[in-house]
Amino acid sequence: MSTNWIRENIRQVHIDFHMPEFPRDAIANFHAEEFVSHFVRAKVNVIGVFTKCHFGNAFYDNKVGHKHSGLKGDFFGEVLTEAKKHDMKVIAYYSLGTDAHAVLHNPDWYQVDEKGKVRGSEGTVWELPCLNSPYREELVIPQVKEITEKYEMDGYLFDIPYIHNHYCFCKYCKKKFLEEYGQVLTPELLETNRELVIGFGIDSAARCMKEIYDVIKKIRPDVLVNCNGAWRMGEPAEVNATSDYGLWESQPSATGSFLGHSIRARHIRTLDVPVQIMTVRFTEGWGLMSCKTAEQLKFEFACIMANGGIINIGDQVMPDGTLQAGVYDIIGEAFNFVEAREAYCIGGKSVRHTALIANNTNNWYHDKDDSATFGAAKMLIEGHHQFDIYYNDNFPDLEGYKVVVLTENVNLSSTSIQLLDSFVANGGLLLAEGAATYSKETKDFQLADVLGLHYLERTPYPFAYFTENEDLWHGVARIPQLVEGEFIKTIPATSETLSYIQWPLTVPAVNRAFRHPMPPAGAISDFPGISVNKYGKGTAIYVAAPVFRTYWNSNHFWVRRIMMNLLDQYAREKYYEVEAPVHVEANMMEKDGKKYLHLINFQNIHAGEKNSSFYDPIENITPVYDIQVYINDKRIQTATTRPDNERLMTEQTEEGIVFTVPKVHIHTIIELSEN
């Protein structure tokens, strides 16, 4: 099945239309031609259009389910017809896991939590039917059949395809669980065998999506099917199998960080399926009728497309069925920016250098991101390193990679451990932190020989210090440097210690209070804080502290500088080196035999009250000037900026060429050629 259209059309808009029935003039002013004209003006080439919303209201000419009482015509059908006139692709949105009308009229369909309460929330849209109840057979499947038979859409998006938290104690779940496992499903079982209960919930969702998928494909084999969240980092394989393309929601307001788009894209570009990175027009989450600046959207879109993702931005239909024209002035300006650059981005593949192998344990868009994964990625982005992100064992044979970075919570099989052993032995560089590869069974690192040391125990202190190392302390004060996390004691075998763990003077307690809750450094221990080991033809670096997690949580710049000094000292064969501020992101892609260096510039405004403001929006981005770039490839002869088409002056070096990029406002692409 071809997924080319979704890969090649990256100016996508998803139009939310969760609409209750009480507004007096609901959908009264909807006109399909005017509605679609906004997308035409804004150069949109794919739109997501509602067939059924969270309130359970259908927005098409239906015989199954409840049609919104304010809708006189056929919202979905009319928008679809009009969009096709302008060669737009249309994705049909269907609210699967939330349907207020269904459960309010069929209370036995509700999900039930561990306290015996139905999962409904009066005053919000979150009324949750169980996918194991007759909701599926009596409403979902008949409705999906009706929609698919009636309309020639290009794709589907099924929202909230899971049981909440992956467990439910309704009578239908209990019945099915007993039939399948021969056990009674109880809240107590959730405590004693959580993996079994959660697995049942995930499997229930996957079977529901598989049934939906098969229904659609039988009617329209070429329609692409997706459930929201498929192909995110750590998404269950059985769920991914029901989706032809992926979708990963990514909003600065969810975590307060603008790094999410780049980090997510650096994972999904390693996959064989196209994946949308979905942001929103709103400054503070879905449905707040605000609008970001065009400057911010250009930056967000650049982060997505320059790193190999598909741009998708969410909007919200007004209660009367219209769109806000002013929003499409902004989106249109941002999509003009995309259109000028997309030819150099679509279909690009990452140039391999560093593989970050991690375990993104929290992957719901509204959860705090996994600190170890995102902290490592933040360091590498700010250090201008070229890297891709893999989930645990889902990494390739590492061909082409020069460096592997392991987070403290990575979960690797014996096969993966063997691959990493061979990688270092054959000349690769490994950087591992904290408890990475620790085995509870052997009470040692699985890569102990590679690291040249053995695990002893965790320290009793919740924080400690690195002793100074002149080479690694470049750019930081020559003092013991704090890491706000618990260190690990190790016993060196063949490794060389570069920095020792220095204990804090004490742990504050009664009669041991200090001026600050984290007292200054005290005794220097005998245990390595940073060590290096030669193994075969390669090198392994071990850092005895959770530096990635603590960097994400504390933003202590000195931790990042020490780690980047460490990598810069030992990492060789870098394809490029960029002399730029940390807020400039660099990334290298290749396409059609050419390499493209992407430089993305970002600044936002001063922070306000962090307890109540979601994040600091971008109003203006100040250009950065005169960025020096070294390309370590003797075959490269020319460097040309895109889309400005300015050929840069280059000088030969021993390794390749050096040139200066005169200006980066938001996103500059440098095309590198051999002639």
The confidence score (pLDDT) of residue 366 equals 47
Cβ neighbours of residue 428 closer than 8 Å, sequence gap 6 or more: 398, 401, 402, 403, 404, 538
Q: What CA–CA distance (Å, rounded) separates 337 from 193?
A: 52
Q: Are 54 and 128 in contact, with CB atoms under 8 Å apart?
A: no
Cβ neighbours of residue 467 closer than 8 Å, sequence gap 6 or more: 480, 499, 500, 501, 502, 524, 529
Name the stretches of the chain with pLDDT < 50: 365-366
Q: What CA–CA distance (Å, rounded) separates 259 from 602?
A: 10
- Using the 8-state DSSP alphabet, how is residue 467 labeled? P
Please provide the average confidence, as pLDDT, over all residues in the chain.
Answer: 95
> What secondary structure, in 3-state letters, does 15-78 show?
EECCCCCCCCCCCCCCCHHHHHHHHHHCCCCEEEEEEECCCCEECCCCCCCEECCCCCCCHHHH
The confidence score (pLDDT) of residue 508 equals 82
Report pLDDT digits (tens) over 185-208: 999 999 999 999 999 999 999 999
The confidence score (pLDDT) of residue 363 equals 52
The confidence score (pLDDT) of residue 607 equals 74
Q: Strand (E) positions, 75-232? A: 89-95, 155-159, 224-227
| CB-CB neighbours of 29 under 10 Å | 13
The confidence score (pLDDT) of residue 457 equals 97
Place of tokens 């021969």: 182
Angle, alpha carbons 396-390-632 (nearest 5°): 75
Burial 591-618 (b: 16+ CB within 10 A, else e): eeeebbbbbbbbbbeeeeeeeeebbbbb
The confidence score (pLDDT) of residue 122 equals 79
Q: Are 621 and 602 in contact, with CB atoms under 8 Å apart?
A: yes
Query: Number of helices (H) and strands (E), helices first, in the chain?
Result: 19, 33
Report pLDDT digits (tens) over 448-494: 999 999 999 999 999 999 999 999 999 999 999 999 999 999 999 99
Q: Which amino acid is at 486?
A: E
| Residue 405, beta-bridge partner list | 356, 431
The confidence score (pLDDT) of residue 161 equals 94
User: How many alpha carbons lie under 13 Å from residue 579 in its C-beta half-sphere?
Assistant: 11
| Residue 671, beta-bridge partner list | 596, 640
Structure-token pair, residue 465: 């210090």
Cβ contacts of 31-37, under 8 Å, gap ≥ 24: 32/78, 32/79, 32/81, 32/82, 33/82, 34/322, 35/79, 35/82, 35/321, 35/322, 35/323, 36/79, 36/82, 36/83, 36/85, 36/86, 36/88
Burial 471-489 (b: 16+ CB within 10 A, else e): ebbeebeeebbbbbbbbbb
DSSP-based helix, strand, coil % in the chain, nearest 5? 30, 25, 45
The residue among 235, 240, 276 whose CA lies nearest residue 12 is 276
